[in-house]
Homo-oligomer: A and B are copies of this chain.
Amino acid sequence: MFTNSVKYALKAVLFLAVHSGEERKIMVKDIAEPINVPKAYIAKLLQELSKQEIISSTRGVKGGFYLTESNLKQPVLNVIYAIDGTYRMNSCLLSLESCNEYKPCPLHHIVSPMRSKLIESLKEKTLEDLSIEIQSGLSYLPL
């Protein structure tokens, strides 16, 4: 469902949600290691997220990546769409172009309602929500 890239991106962003802030910027190598994702790989993803303003960054000495309050208010889904695009999550599981409510593919009735619900949930949950859950020990991030 998700590419490797999205998974890595989510881990990194959630790591930032928990550990960074406008006054606590974190550089690539200090993100890559704890979430164990190859440094060069996650660097590229973070750059893309930054360009799309899903996360924030500053260059140079004392620079790094971080989330602003506004970044934290975003739905998780933003991260997914930013990296994988919207098509992957929304297209028919059998890739039938014409699949829709009126001309459903054989799996549509099974899959479609669940996908809708999943997307709904990923739209509702913000990065901040997940960050709070992690910080209160309701869920766990690394490895």
Contact = CB atoms under 8 A, between A and B. Distances in A.
Given A7-B94, A114-B114, A105 B1 contact: no
A82 interface: no
Contact of A93 (B2, B98, B99): B2
B7 A95 contact: yes
Contact of A94 (B10, B95, B103, B138): B10
B118 A11 contact: no
Contact of A14 (B99, B106, B114): B106
B105 A141 contact: yes
Contacts of A4: 95
A28 interface: no
Number of copies: 2
Given A104-B139, A140-B105, A110 B98 contact: no
A16 to B, nearest CB: 13
Q: Which of A76, A107, A133 has the most CB of B within 10 A?
A: A107
Interface of A: 1-2, 4, 7, 10-11, 14, 76, 93-99, 103-111, 114, 117-118, 121-122, 125, 130, 133-134, 138-143
5 nearest A-B residue pairs (beta carbon):
A1-B1, A106-B130, A106-B139, A110-B121, A104-B139
11 contacts: A1-B1, A2-B93, A10-B106, A14-B106, A98-B143, A104-B139, A108-B139, A110-B121, A110-B122, A110-B125, A114-B114
